[in-house]
Structure 1
Amino acid sequence: MTWTMPEYRKARVDRAGHVLISKDATEETREEALTVLNNWRSSHGYPLNTFQARLRQVSKKVDDNALVVQRLKRVPSIRKKLIREQTKTMSLSQMQDIAGCRSVLADVKKVYELTEIYRKSRGLKHKKVGEKDYIKDPKKDGYRGIHLIYKYKSDKIKTYDGLQIEIQIRSKMQNSWATAIEIVDLFTKQAIKSNEGEEEWQEFFKLVSSAFAKIEKQSEVEGTPKVNAELYAAIKEKVDSLKIFSKMIKWSEALKVIEPQLKELSFFLLELDVSDENKPKLSIRGYPEEVESLATEHYLEAEKLQSGSPDKDVVLVGAKSIEELKKAYLNYFANSKEFLAHLKDYLERKGEV
């Protein structure tokens, strides 16, 4: 198959990034910038596929039921990150998570087992340029997981050398929490994931993250109650006031999913429309591996159509099957069952872990 190759120098890519966050950019220059961005993003496809294949292989050795998927970062997410980081040295060409793959494993023990394999990989030609352990040191918003950043390097084809790929490794419990935040963001039109959501929702997820950390016997989130009874009481109060269970169950039951009928698909374009809260709709387009470039073209077209709409979301992801897709990207299917099951169990035990 033919993979997209980078057509622009990094300086041109960085200029495109500046245009995308500029308030003074014309429609024409913004269109040009999107074209440059899409090529830059799409050119990560080949390295990403290489990393995803190895991550899948190694993950299955650690956990037979590991879920491994890949994704290219959405334009709105890229813009938000550039705006957020513009006072620092962040540039579009240096963004480390334009392309990423994720492994979701049964528990924390397996998360560290897989991480250790990567840490000890001496024969790996790709250069590791970053590692963040958000399990030992959770983010202030409660996010937990391990992130590894690599620069791609090939002995044969130099075209993609230097492109950065992010690997995320999470336990199922950590992934259920991250998924729940994205579901709430989508259906309430917030940005809790970017620390821009309503204070009560943000506090709820911080508290629950600490509860889940206690269950996993890991570091809790800074600024949350240390005493079990106090943490339980705070979570119970938020669950009741925000009507967590009724809302999340309602979203899941209301969602209509339109799936592709073809088999042997490798890429999926997910388009979620929640403009009518009572009739949310998820449309899925599937693509075989050999038409990856067509998938990325359609991705950009869909993003342009949905630009600026808080009611719509689109993402292009890679998975081995529609079944794997449903398990790994629970947020797009409004599937909060696992999160709610963990939360219900915690509440029934009144915070005793």
Structure 2
Amino acid sequence: MTHWEVPLYSKSRVSKAGNRVAKHIQEIGSSSHSKIQEIMTDDIDVINNYRASHAFPLNTFQIALRKCARDIDPDAIVAQRLKRMPTIINKLSIFTEMNLARMQDIGGCRAVSSSLPETYEISEKFKSRRAKHELLNIKDYIQEPKSSGYRGIHLIYKYYSDRKNTYNGLRIEVQLRTRLQHAWATAVETAGMLLKQQLKSSQGEEDWLEFFRYASSGISILEGTPTLHSDKTEEEIKHNLKQLEEKLHASELLTAVSNAMQRRDEAPNLKNAFHYIMKVDIETKDLDIIGFPKKETLTANRKYALMEEEYRDNGNIDIVLVSVESFISLKSAYPNYYGDASMFINTIKEIIDKNPSK
């Protein structure tokens, strides 16, 4: 029995499934996402299979990325994840012209390094590998931050193997970040979960969105890269960030979440696992983790789909399937699921207290 899900449907069938879901969202409104899985079972099955099929090529890229990253930064954090079904559906609803079969980030792996020079060095080393995969796109969001404040380097590849063409053509996204950029990105997700707002997709209260924009610019100053607020001085950025932080009590709120979050282990072999399903209850601040060894990739993916179905109507539950090399690495790779924004909070304090450069 194979350990990997294989694509069961043509790209045309996948595209049609995505288009039908997107059209249905337009007709009934995005607030009814939870009902989609119930009334569009066949299409959701197609999407689930297509998503799970990315696990094999994703693992191939993760192994290569881990080697590149560790050669340059022995302390680099490397992880991989398959995109959550609610996130896929939400993306289809926002970008209604998107072709699901060409979505670039269903499977993604990430390397978080200690410094900016190391991040760029990893990028160059990874791109220069002798591999047949096609590099489709490069996005340097460090030099040109997204309007949300997001920063990092994205490399989009099309998988290719001349030994077995089962997975050829599937797209994998490789993300490269510094630890500070990672702290910002995961703090956005922590706040988004807590507030039940899609801050990551630039949807939510404007004050919170603006707070994270200024936080991003503050981190850019620390790292010596272009800021999102190129029309503002360093002192103005610091002043505006401080005002928003105090208005929202952002650090206090994020600290309270971290202190409240509880973790319960649902499997005795978590320390020997490679795949982890993380289920967080936003209301009770409980985090449940189920671990699977690497050879049970197929089982983990199917359990993930079943749990998404089970909790689809519960807006307090957030579920994700991630893979890291050790249980110790899990919290560093995904601190948002532990409610841990401590590095981000400390960085905000550093920015606010920092004397402006002369």
Which runs of 5 or more residues in structure 1 are unaligned?
none
* Deviation >3 Å, runs of 4+: 23-29, 350-353
2:231 is aligned with 1:202: no
Question: Shift of the alpha carbon at 1:322?
Answer: 1.3
CA positional deviation for 1:290: 1.4
SS in structure 2 at match of 1:175: helix
Who is 2:30 aligned against?
none
2:124 is the counterpart of 1:119: no
In 2, the alpha carbon distance for the partners of 1:125 and 1:161 equals 11
1:229 equivalenced with 2:230 (yes/no): no
For residues 352 and 242 of structure 1, what CA distance do their matches in structure 2 show?
27
- Give, in whole Å, the separation in 1 of the partners of 2:356 and 2:187: 20
Query: Do structure 1's residue 46 and structure 2's residue 56 form an aligned pair?
Result: yes
The answer to whether 1:239 aligns with 2:249 is no
- Residue 325 (str. 1) matches residue 330 (str. 2): yes
Residue 176 of structure 1, aligned match among 183, 205, 218: 183
Give the partner amino acid of 1:102: R
Deviations 1:243-262 (A, max 9, x none): 01211111000011112331
SS at match of 1:190: coil
**Kept after mapping to 1: 8 A contact 2:261/2:286:** yes
Which amino acid is 2:342 matched to?
Answer: K
Q: How far did residue 27 of structure 1 move? A: 6.3
1:1-353 paired onto structure 2 within 5 Å? 2-21=3-22, 22-23=24-25, 30-86=40-96, 88=97, 90-121=98-129, 123-222=130-229, 226-259=232-265, 260-262=267-269, 263-275=271-283, 279-352=284-357
Task: State the identity %.
Answer: 36
1:297 Cα deviation from its structure 2 partner: 1.0
Provide closer, same or farther for how the CA distance between residues 133 and 251 of structure 1 changes in structure 2, counting only shifts above 3 A.
Answer: same
| 1:305 shift after superposition | 2.1
CA distance in 2, matches of 1:93, 1:133: 24
CA shift in 2, pair 1:251/1:351, >3 Å: farther
Q: Which amino acid aligns with 1:15?
A: K
Amino acid at match of 1:243: H
Q: Which runs of 5+ in 2 are unaligned?
A: 28-34
Q: Report the secondary structure of 1:155's partner residue.
A: coil
Which letter does structure 1 place at the counterpart of 2:123? Answer: T
For 1:111, the aligned partner's letter is T
Q: CA RMSD in A?
A: 1.6
User: 2:32 — aligned with what?
Assistant: none
Paired residues in the alignment total: 346
Question: 1:17 touches 1:37 (CA, 8 Å); kept in 2?
Answer: yes
Tell me by how many angstroms 1:306 deviates: 2.2
Deviations 1:41-63 (A, max 9, x none): 11111100000001001100110
Q: TM-score, normalised by structure 2?
A: 0.93
1:352 deviates by 4.9
Task: Give the secondary-structure state (helix, strand or coil) at the position aligned to 2:177.
Answer: strand
Structure 2 Cα separation of the partners of residues 285 and 27 of structure 1: 23
Deviation (angstroms), 1:350: 4.7
User: Match for residue 31 of structure 2?
Assistant: none
Please say if residues 68 and 126 of structure 2, whose CA atoms lie closer than 8 Å, have aligned partners that are also in contact: no
- Secondary structure, aligned partner of 1:258: strand
Give the superposition deviation at 1:149: 0.6
Q: Distance in 2 between matches of 1:163 and 1:29?
A: 27
What amino acid maps onto 1:335 in structure 2?
Answer: D
Aligned counterparts of 2:75 and 2:19: Cα–Cα separation in 1: 42
**Which one-letter code corresponds to 2:142 in the other structure?**
I
Aligned with 2:136: secondary structure?
strand
Q: Which amino acid aligns with 2:139?
A: K
Is the contact made by 2:21 and 2:36 (CA closer than 8 Å) also made in structure 1? Answer: no
Q: Does structure 2 conserve the Cα–Cα contact (< 8 Å) formed by 1:185 and 1:192? A: yes
